[in-house]
Amino acid sequence: MTTLSDPPKGGFRLSMLINDTRYRSYTFQFIALIALIAAFGYLGSNLVANLKAAGLNISYRFLGEPAGYDINQRLIEYTSQSTHLRAAMVGALNTLLVAVVACFFATIIGVIVGVLRLSKNWLVNKLMGVYVEIFRNVPVLIWILIIMAVFVAVLPQPREFRGDDATASMVLGSFAFTGRGFYFPKPVFGPGSMIVVLTFIASLVGIWGYRRYAKQQLFDHGRMVSTLWPSIGLFFVPTILMFFIMGQPITLDYPALKGFNFQGGIYARNSFIALTFALSIYTAAFIAENVRAGILAISTGQTEAAASLGLRPGRIMNLVILPQALRVIIPPLISQYLNITKNSSLAIAVGYMDITGTLGGITLNQTGRAIETVLLLMAFYLIISLSISAVMNVYNNSVKLKER
Amino acid sequence: MKKSVFFGAMTVAALAAGAAAAGTLDDVKARGKLNCGVTTGLVGFAAPDANGEWQGFDVGVCRAVAAAVLGDPSAVEFVPTTGKTRFTALASGEIDMLARNTTWTFSRDVDLKFEFVGVNYYDGQGFMVPKALGVSSAKELDGATVCIQTGTTTELNLADYFRTNNISYEPVPIETNAEAQPLYLEGACDVYTTDASGLAATRAAFENPGDHVVLPEIISKEPLGPLVRHGDSEWGDVVRWSLNALIAAEELGVTSANIGEMSMAAGDNPEINRLLGTEGTLGEMLGLSADWAKNAIMAGGNYGEIFEKNIGENTPIGLGRGLNAQWTDGGLLYVPPFR
Amino acid sequence: MSDTNTTPVAFVRDAMLPEQAAPITAAGPLAWIKKNLFDGWFNSILTIVAIYFIYLIVSGAFPWFYNGVWTTDSLAECREILQGKTGGCFSVLTERWPQLLFGFKYPSEEYWRPTIAFFALFVAVAPVLFNKLPRKLLIVTAIFPFAAFWLIWGGSILVPIMVAVGLIVGYVVFTRLVYQSSAMGMIGGLVATVAVWMLSGYITDPLSGFLALEPVPSRDMGGFMLNFILGVTCVSLSLPLGILLALGRQSDMLIIKWICVVFIEFIRGVPLITLLFVANVVLGYFLPPGTNFDLILRVIIMITMFSAAYIAEVVRGGLAALPKGQAEAAGSLGLDYAQSMRLIILPQALKISIPGIVNVAVGLFKDTVLVSVISMFDLVGMIRGPILASTEWNGVYWELWLAAVLFFFPICYGISQYSQWLERQLATGHR
């Protein structure tokens, strides 16, 4: 707040530091700065004194030492002889994995529920309302614990698949849903599979190009070119053809019960699934509300105007409502993604080895380096959060209403 | 509630830095309470009962120290700690001693700057499996899913053991014993591993303990003992000799039943006399009253009595003395003489 | 048209016919069903799926509730009574009810104290939430924090009274000085308050037995009570802090602005659980040697900072929504910064931000269960720790978790409904 009055004539007096608005802000800032430095100095000197009294020091050397413990879910090479730093990286990747997967499912569930909440079907409408309210109003930690407990208690364990009178069996002979997690067939890429994958990527590019062409035709010549069936054709046909031409280089590795566990295939652990599922359905309840609010925010006049132009309902949704609703939906959506990432730190409640479990858990326990590990942990989350915020800002700027 | 911390926080501007760090012994005496770190709940070692009273073997040690220092076995504030928080709690002075089945290791002693004052339980890491699995040795566990209680040396021992025997396993880290139980019972883990005493305690809490066996392999040495901060030897001595007094009392045949009589007047055995303060000035040397050891022993009985009451063969946990018998009975308990 | 009546008419209706009931397919329950449930094949499928889903839940839950056992002493006895039938073992709730509510350390003969404080909370909060209630009730609101502190923690009643006296003296000094200069008022008020607090030590210490309730150390707090204490305390403490942060972030003063921005973004960027780790394992190193803060106090500090950052963002939104003209008008009246904020800007900005603040409060209340991760025995901590670990009750999950859900749901749902109601109330003002 600046004043526009003429500055008083005359020399500078000390009392102007507090009474004159031109200088007062400098006084305040100076005081704030001094207070800040004093506070940090105070905390720092306490830290030094405490560490000295305890004979400890701050050192990140432990990161280079062998961790000594095993981690069950590893996205990169890791053994118990790897370093603590490596363990932290394994944990960080696990955090990112669970966050990305949970964001994906949360969005899908959230959008479906959000749209269904606006459904004219009274029963579905109410049911979705109940779902949203129940999940939004109970702490996510409780949901994680409940889902883990239910998961372990309800699904059959590998031992029930064993023997002649097994009480459980695999679905389609290739999927096993057990209390320890889900086992899926894993694709094995043999020689020549690269070409199949390349073909697939090429056909995706082809679909994109074709759709672009169709749009061009529509805008330039007013001709409607069918896109659905050619797209589907492009998606499947070349890849499948190439798959057989190359002599079926991609095979599936089926899980099979050997010894104590299923072996082979992809193993999604119970902790991972419980955490992902809990985070997804918890956050989906919030996303559903955002989606609903976004759609409701578009005034009915828009729909009516679009209809009066002769657009069909599907096109009204695609061309008029959604582009505008997205502007409202996406910012809160991204902050929900941020929440998922942060909430994924609750993984320790179910023993999922994310970065809070490795760096902030076992490494902290084993080395006793509390300050160092907690600082690293915070830095990691901070970097993720700030990156997501940066993305959000870029998006917000790009969709900002251009006022002229 | 004088100078309550809350009031203190409200007047935080006025709050001068606390008194310069005096010795822990003086602090405890001034406070009139011993802050003792224990587990958040392991039946037999430290767990609150239905009335909220802490019970257990480690709790017995805390009470003995409190009785020795303050003359009152109930003057203890039990601070539940997890594997993660226990060392910080001790290092930052939140607790005066830690009696939380903590393994005495080199790095904890040297690098983390703690002082282990003795061993109150000689333990070792073992495995528990359901009988139905038909496993008789840990070497047969190739490919098994193993539930581990984290925050202890357990996961390190486990990794080493499976590595040296070249067998694979799937670790499932669990924060607390209470959470490991359902996972193991429902079959989400084939094996549960922690200290053998912990296994016995866990198994005792099962509905059908007979359906589970503890495998014969003990894969590590786990000397569990109370610890204090480095650099405060006086306090370390107090805790060490309070523990030693309990063990010596058993060796010398002093029990909570006969201690009243024995401490009335000096008897024939000079070591008992010195222990109970009827002769010599051991208590004064420690900076305690002459009857410190008597109070410690009266708190819950001698080592053997505490053992039998909390984890002995007649309790649901049912641990034998094994290594924890007196050296005269072939165990490892051997305290330096009281003289 | 004059001769229309000349020819006689055969029949003239001179009374209205009674209305006929609408056809059964257009009104009444059947029509409602058709319109709302079976309107087109897609809707019909949705309805059938939904009905099946509800059937699954009800058929699973009903026998469980119906056969529920409420009076046994252990899970084993429950199983004996149920004989293999489906049924809940709710006796864990009846037997451990006080522990779920108050934790296992709070002295049982003192349970009435937190209970009174709990119900008093509603009386104290009501005038803040509902404008229509008589303003006199605000006195209860002002007294409540001190009374609740005294009830829950016990000790001499003089302690909270002296704290209140300090605040009142500080306020009086503030109002005297504020007409000279806002800054003088602030500083003078602060100094007066602190001085009274320091002096009060000489009164409360010797009279510590005066009207004293049995003191209960905060370490003994537990169960749902702990969640409640943390939630209420932290929200109320973080409100002023959050407003200050928001003002700082809007300020022209660069240094202050950046301090606030860094603080807010830092706190919002890390999960609460890492802040709780800080409270639990790191904060001790940053305090002067020899001071020993309670864990609960350290946790309150951290959670307060956490929610203050979020509230600051909400308030900032409220400030941003105010037209610039308000500030300019205030300036043109000759009000200085503090006056225009206090009298013009903040009352309006806060009014807009109330729904957002309430949402932050709900989120914070839910987040208090995270303290169970750092070995505090709140509701979730009690369930995961002492109750499930006990020999009698290990294996009872559904009943306990259902109870946990039922503890949180009504409160959070109530608050969020209130927030929506308030939003509608506020919205009418702008039409």
CATH of the domain at A135: 1.10.3720.10
- C397 lies in some domain: yes
The verdict on C190 and C329 lying in the same domain is no
Q: Residue C89 has which token pair? A: 């073992």
Half-sphere exposure of A35 (CA within 13 A, CB side): 9
Q: According to the model, what pLDDT value does residue B243 have? A: 92
Count CB neighbours of C386 within 10 A: 25
Rounded to whole angstroms, the Cα distance separating C269 from A254 reads 42
Residues 166-185 of C with CB under 8 A from A: 181, 183
Same domain, B241 and B209: no
pLDDT of B14 above 60: no
Q: Max CA-CA distance within chain A?
A: 103
Q: Output the tens digit of pLDDT for each of chain C's 431 residues.
A: 555 556 667 788 888 888 887 777 777 777 778 777 777 787 888 888 889 989 998 988 888 888 888 888 888 888 888 887 788 888 888 888 888 888 887 888 888 888 888 888 888 888 887 877 777 878 888 888 888 888 888 877 777 888 888 888 888 888 877 777 666 777 888 888 888 888 777 776 676 667 777 888 777 888 898 998 999 989 989 999 999 999 888 888 888 888 899 999 999 999 999 999 888 878 878 877 666 677 788 899 899 999 999 999 999 888 888 888 888 888 888 887 778 888 888 888 888 888 888 888 999 999 999 998 887 888 998 888 778 777 778 778 888 889 999 999 999 999 888 888 887 877 655 44
- Three-class secondary structure of residue C196 per DSSP: helix
- Residues B28 and B42 grouped into a single domain: yes
In this structure, the answer to whether residues B239 and B318 fall within a common structural domain is yes
Q: Residue B20: is its pLDDT beyond 60? A: no
**Helical (H) or strand (E) element with C53:** helix C40-66
Rounded-to-integer distance, Cα A347 and Cα C271, Å: 12
Same domain assignment for residues B75 and B104: yes
Q: Do B182 and A153 lie within an 8 Å CB cutoff? A: yes
* CB B281 within 8 Å of CB B339: no
Do B157 and B212 lie in one domain? The reply is yes
Residue B18 inside a domain? The answer is no
Whether residue C402 sits in one domain with residue C357: yes
Interface of B with A in 63-122 (CB under 8 A): 83-84, 87-88, 91-92, 108, 111-113
Tokens of B278: 């009827």
A354: distance to nearest CA of chain B, Å?
11
Q: Do C227 and C263 have their domain in common?
A: yes
Residues of C in contact with B89 (CB under 8 A): 284
Question: What residue type is A124 in one-letter code?
Answer: V
Question: In angstroms, what separates the C-alpha of A171 from chain C's closest C-alpha?
Answer: 22
- Does C194 contact B at CB distance below 8 Å? yes
pLDDT score, position B228: 92
Query: Residue B105 falls within a domain, yes or no?
Result: yes
Terminal CA-CA length for chain B: 42
> Which pLDDT belongs to residue A12?
66
Distance separating alpha carbons of residues C252 and C183, to the nearest angstrom:
17
Q: Do B11 and C198 count as a contact with CB atoms less than 8 A apart?
A: yes
Sequential DSSP letters for C301-327: HHHHHHHHHHHHHHHHHHHHHS-HHHH
DSSP characters for A79-116?
A: -TTSBHHHHHHHHHHHHHHHHHHHHHHHHHHHHHHHHH
Nearest CB among B21, B47, B94 relative to C389 is that of B47
Among candidate residues C270, C412, C317, the one with its CA nearest the CA of residue A339: C270
Inter-helix orientation angle A270-297/A84-117, to 10°: 40
Contact A345, A357 (CB under 8 A): no
Residue A164 scores a pLDDT above 70: no
Tell me: pLDDT of B329 over 60: yes
Task: Tell me the C-alpha distance between A27 and A35, whole Å.
Answer: 12
Same domain, yes or no: C303 and C326: yes
B18 vs A218: which has the higher pLDDT: A218
| In-domain check, residue B104 | yes
Nearest C-alpha neighbor of B26 from the set B235, B212, B270, B282: B235
In a shared domain, residues B236 and B106 = yes
Domain that holds residue C238: 220-425
Q: Could you report the per-residue pLDDT of A374-387, keeping only the tens digit for each?
A: 999 999 999 999 99
Residue B195 has pLDDT above 60, yes or no: yes
- Which tokens hold the place of A209? 């190009």
Based on the domain organization, do C183 and C283 belong to the same domain? Answer: no
Q: Which of B142, B170, B182 sits opposite A72 (nearest CB)?
A: B170
Q: Considering CB atoms only, which of B4, B85, B177 is closest to C159?
A: B4
Token digits of residue C273:
């659980």
Distance (Å, rounded) from C-alpha A28 to C-alpha C253?
8
CA distance A149 to C388: 12
For chain A, say whether C37 makes contact (Cβ under 8 Å): yes
> Is residue A385 less than 8 Å (CB to CB) from chain C?
yes
pLDDT at C208: 67
Residue B334 lies in a domain: no
CB proximity list for C294: less than 8 A, separation 6 or greater: B5, C217, C218, C219
B230 and B323 within one domain:
yes
d(CA C390, CA C396): 11
Give a yes or no: residue B337 inside a domain.
no
Of B48, B88, B178, the CB nearest to C281: B88
For C114, the token pair is 């937190």
> C412, A137 in Cβ contact below 8 A?
yes
A310 CA to centre of own chain = 39
- Asked whether residue C261 falls in the same domain as residue C165, the answer is no
* B160 close to B148: Cβ distance less than 8 angstroms: no
Q: Mind listing the pLDDT tens digit for each residue in B264-276?
A: 878 888 888 888 8
Residue A306 within any structural domain of the chain: yes
Q: Give B100→chain C minimum CA distance, Å.
A: 14
Query: Between A193-221 and A228-245, two packed helices, what is the crossing angle to 10 degrees?
Result: 160
Q: Do B81 and B149 belong together in one domain?
A: no
A27 → chain C, closest CA residue: C253
Close Cβ partners of A146 (under 8 Å, ≥ 6 residues apart):
A278, C397, C401, C405
**Interior angle at CA C71, CA C65 and CA C72, nearest 5:** 105
User: Does A295 reside within a domain?
Assistant: yes
| Cβ(C180)–Cβ(B25) below 8 Å | no
Q: Tens digit of pLDDT for each residue in A59-118?
A: 888 888 888 888 888 888 888 888 999 999 999 999 999 999 999 999 999 988 988 888
Numbers of helices and strands, H then E, in chain C: 19, 0
Please name the residues in contact with A207: beta carbons below 8 A apart, sequence gap of 6 or more: A231, A234, A235
Q: What is the average pLDDT across A133-143?
A: 92
Instruction: Considering only the beta carbons, identify the residue of C104, C159, C194 that sits closest to B1.
Output: C159
Of B1, B7, B17, the CB nearest to C288: B17
Most confident listed range (A120-134, A258-272, B150-164, C323-337): A120-134
The total number of structural domains in chain A stands at: 1
* DSSP strand pairing (B125-130 vs B212-214): antiparallel
Asked whether residue B247 is domain-assigned, the answer is yes
Task: For residue C337, tell me if it sits in a domain.
Answer: yes
Give the total number of structural domains in chain C. Answer: 3
Determine the structural domain holding residue A311 and report its residue range: 92-158+283-357+390-403
Q: What's the token pair of residue C197?
A: 């607090």
Is the residue at A138 inside a domain?
A: yes
CB within 8 A of A94, min separation 6: which ones?
A73, A75, A347, A352, A353, A354, A355, A357, A358
Secondary structure class of A45 (helix, strand, coil): helix
Could you tell me the CA-to-CA distances from C133 to A246, B74, C137, C254 in Å, in that order? 80, 50, 8, 43
Do the domain assignments include residue B59? yes
Query: Which of B158, B190, B222 is the endpoint of a domain?
Result: B222
Question: Containing H/E element for C141?
Answer: helix C138-153
Under 8 Å between Cβ of B67 and B296: yes
Give the CATH number of the domain where residue C291 resides: 1.10.3720.10
Residue with the bigger pLDDT between B73 and C35: it is B73
Look-up of token digits 């900002």: A400
Return d(Cα A400, Cα B12) in angstroms, integer: 46
Residue C85 near chain B (CB below 8 Å)? no
C103 located within any domain: no
Rounded CA separation B3/B16 (Å): 12
Average pLDDT over every residue of B295-310: 90
Residue B334 and residue B324: Cα distance in Å, rounded? 10
Residues C342 and C261 grouped into a single domain: yes
The last residue of a domain, from among B192, B222, B252: B222
- d(C-alpha C30, C-alpha A134), whole Å: 30
Please check whether residues C311 and C199 belong to one and the same domain: no
Does any domain span residue A107?
yes
For residue B281, the number of C-alpha atoms closer than 13 Å in the C-beta half-sphere is 3
Domain extent at residue B251: 24-120+225-329
Contacts of B112 in chain A (CB under 8 A): 56, 368
Same domain (yes/no): B106, B81: yes
Closest CA to B247 of B97, B123, B61: B61
> Using CB atoms, which residue from C277, C290, C294 is nearest to B19?
C290
Q: Are residues C195 and C333 in the same domain?
A: no
Touching check for B231 and chain A: CB below 8 Å? Answer: yes
Contact A360, C374 (CB under 8 A): no
Min CA distance, A174 vs chain B (Å)?
20
Q: Which residues of B touch A69 (CB under 8 A)?
A: 155-156, 159, 171
Where does chain B show beta strands of DSSP type E?
A: 34-39, 47-48, 54-55, 76-81, 97-98, 114-116, 121-123, 125-130, 144-149, 169-174, 191-195, 212-214, 222-224, 227-229
The interface pTM score, or ipTM, of the predicted complex is: 0.85
Under 8 Å CB pairs connecting chains B and C tally to 135
| C361 and C271 within one domain | yes
Considering only CB atoms, which chain B residues are within 8 Å of A364? 84
Residue A113 within a domain: yes
B181 neighbourhood in chain C, CB within 8 Å: 388-389, 394
User: C309 and C239 in one domain?
Assistant: yes
Give a yes or no: residue B5 inside a domain. Answer: no
The answer to whether C73 touches C95, Cβ cutoff 8 Å, is yes
C207 and C228 assigned to the same domain: no
**Tokens standing for C10?**
């055969």
Among B190, B222, B254, the domain-final residue is B222
On chain B, the residues whose CB falls within 8 A of the CB of C297 are 5-6, 9
Report yes or no on A304 lying in a domain. yes
A-chain CB neighbours of B172 within 8 Å are: 72, 271, 351
pLDDT of residue B1: 36
- CB-based contact A54 B230, cutoff 8 Å: yes
The residue that leads in pLDDT, B83 or C52, is C52
What total of structural domains would you count in chain B?
A: 2
In a 3-state reduction of DSSP, which class is residue B103? strand
Nearest CA in chain C to B47: C386
- Whether residue B199 sits in one domain with residue B149: yes
How far apart are alpha carbons C314 and C364 in whole angstroms?
14
Contacts (Cβ under 8 Å, ≥6 apart) of C31: C22, C24, C25
Asked if C380 reaches chain A (Cβ–Cβ under 8 Å), the answer is yes
* Domain termination residue (choose one: C44, C62, C80): C62
Query: CATH no. for residue B290?
Result: 3.40.190.10
Interface test with A, best of C34, C36, C270 (most A CBs within 10 A): C270
Nearest to B17 among C194, C204, C291 (CB): C291
C 225-264 residues inside an 8 A Cβ radius of B:
none
Whether B339 and chain C come into contact, CB under 8 Å, resolves to no
Chain A contact for C217, CB < 8 A? no
Regarding whether B241 and B170 lie in a shared domain, the answer is no
